Amino acid sequence: MVKLNHIRPKNLDDFIGQEKVKGTLRIFLEASRLRNEPLDHMLLCGPPGVGKTSLAFVVASELNRRIKITSGPAIERQGDLIAMLTTLEEGEVLFIDEIHRLSRSIEEVLYSAMEDFAVDVVLGSGPGARSVRLNLARFTLIGATTREGLISAPLRSRFGIVVKLGYYTLDELKEIVKRSASIFGVDVADDAAYEIARRSRGTPRIAISLLRRVRDFGEVKGIRVIDLDLTMKAFEELGIDEFGLDNVCRRLLMVIVENYSGGPVGLDTLSISLGEDRRTIEEVYEPFLIREGFIKRTSKGRMATVKAFEYIRGLSK
Ligand code: ADP
């Protein structure tokens, strides 16, 4: 069975698209190799599923160093973070996903860790308590965030490299579909790969998950090659339209257009109407709908655009 991890790109050449980012990274990686110094701390920003975690793995593998993985919400106490930091060896990578969700007191531990490669640990309590400075190995922190605006200024200023990963072009997504299909061991026709790419909302994770679902659909029907006909039938069955909008996206637009005459509608109202978490709406569904011009974010809430009205009208025809 193919594990999802095998799908992840192993080095910068496997990492498709984002050419500018890769070009800059190659220079930083080369400089760190030449100077024999750890890579500068790096912040990766971008919507879910565009390759932040994958790029962190790629960087570690290009550096030929181990990577330890954690996430903002998983670090509950300062001690959790200190325990991770003190076990890092020279040049190793610590990856913190959703770094914007670290609490302030934990974030403060990172400041001295990132800047001075040291942490202050308080021993004992009350009047007898004393602070001891522990030196750390020179490591590289890679933080990832879907909400760049929520990163505090002191944390942000400690990252020497800030990388923004955006949505992918159709050609790049098509290449990702083809590469993933070959890892899965299935054949996908060119036009079918293009169609999958077109419905992926600019996001590699969606492209791969759609490919898996189309493949499952083919397997059930005993079809071995993923062609356009199979792909179109699968999308119809899955309720994914030509824009890549699924049922949740459609319901979101319907709530704004039909229940609230185009808005503005607050995030809490949308969350209750759709039965979806606020954060998921804000971070997963909205960015694409905004980028494609279906909705606008205003200070009073979300508003449907003419394109959304036309889209919803089209559904009832
Ligand atoms: P994020 O951390 O931004 O949410 P991930 O790194 O988990 O995204 O990527 C989601 C999936 O998409 C992974 O399976 C990964 O292999 C694939 N992927 C992402 N970006 C690329 C890329 N540029 N080239 C090839 N595959 C990619």
Q: Is the pLDDT of residue 3 over 60?
A: no
pLDDT given for residue 126 in this prediction: 86
221 three-state secondary structure:
coil
- Smallest Cα–Cα separation from 301: which of 250, 245, 246, 256? 256
Q: Give the integer Cα–Cα distance in Å for 200 and 207.
A: 5
Asked if 200 and 148 sit in the same domain, the reply is: no
CB 41 within 8 A of CB 141: yes
Residues composing the chain:
317
Q: Identify the domain boundary among 125, 143, 164.
A: 164
Q: Which residue from 140, 135, 205 is spatially nearest to 167, judged by alpha carbons?
A: 205
Residue 159 and residue 12 share a domain: yes
- Our mutation pick for probing the ligand 1 site, out of 19, 43, 54, 283, counting the most ligand atoms within 8 A of Cβ, is 54
**pLDDT of 283 over the 70 cut:** yes
The predicted model gives 14-34 an average pLDDT of: 95
Which residue's alpha carbon is at the smallest distance from atom 6 of ligand 1?
51
Here the CATH number for the domain that contains residue 103 is 3.40.50.300
State if residue 91 touches ligand 1 by the CB under 6 angstroms criterion: no
Q: Are residues 228 and 253 in the same domain?
A: no
pLDDT at 10 over 50: yes
pLDDT the model gives residue 2 = 42
Quote the crossing angle between the two packed helices 52-63 and 19-35, to the nearest 10°: 30
How high does pLDDT run on average in the chain? Answer: 93
Tell me, what CATH number does 183's domain have?
1.10.8.60
Does residue 305 surpass a pLDDT of 90? yes
For the CA of 44, the closest atom of ligand 1 is: 3
Residue 57 near ligand 1, beta carbon < 6 Å? no
Q: Which of 121, 148, 164 is the last residue of a domain?
A: 164
Mutate which of 196, 205, 211 for ligand 1? The one with the most ligand atoms within 8 Å of its CB, which is 205
Write the pLDDT tens digit of every residue in 128-159: 889 899 999 999 999 999 999 999 999 999 99
Domain around 37: 4-164
Return the pLDDT at 220: 87
Say if CB 202 and CB 287 are below 8 A apart.
no
Q: How many domains does the chain have?
A: 3
What is the reported pLDDT for 5? Answer: 52
The reply to whether 61 and 141 lie within a common domain is yes
How far apart are alpha carbons 299 and 306 in whole angstroms? 19
75: which 2 tokens?
């670090």
For residue 295, the SS3 value is strand
The per-residue pLDDT for 1 is: 43
Q: How many whole angstroms from 51 Cα to the centroid of ligand 1? A: 3
Residue-wise pLDDT for 223-268, tens only, equals 889 999 999 999 999 999 999 999 999 999 999 999 999 989 999 9
- Say which CATH number the domain at 307 has: 1.10.10.10
The single-letter DSSP state of residue 97 is: E
